[in-house]
Amino acid sequence: MFEIDPTFGNDIVAFRHRGTVTDREFVALAGTVADFPRRGDLLVLLDWVGIEDWAFSIPGGDALIAWRRAAKTIRRIAIVHDPRLNRPAAWLGAVLREEGVIVRSWRPQHAALAATWLQTDAS
């Protein structure tokens, strides 16, 4: 399950994940991001700290298409996660970077720095 916090900070939209993440939900999140009105200017914080289980495998074509479409709305994205979620974070980061999005991963203890980084002009 994920929840959206559109008032997280200055122009940052935070998506918090809790419990189990499914492939279907991961693709749905991409659709939600793609439908945001601020094309190419969205600052996204993915908070994956509350994820308890994710049987991640390299997503198929639908996920790739969905996240490439979502990338058109995103300027910068910070992914906050534990080391056990390195694989999905790396996959997502690679896809978004190919589309020109600035991406960084952060450990949970540095979540506040991730929000600050999102709002800076330096990459």
Is residue 123 one of the residues assigned to a domain?
no
**Cα–Cα dist 108/47, whole Å:** 8
C-beta of residue 70 within 8 angstroms of C-beta of residue 33: yes
Give the number of domains in the chain.
Answer: 1
**Cα–Cα dist 30/35, whole Å:** 9
Is residue 27 one of the residues assigned to a domain?
yes
Residues 53-101 have pLDDT tens digits of 999 888 888 899 999 999 999 999 999 999 999 999 999 999 999 999 9
Range of the domain at 111: 2-118
> Global pTM?
0.91
**Cα–Cα dist 9/110, whole Å:** 16
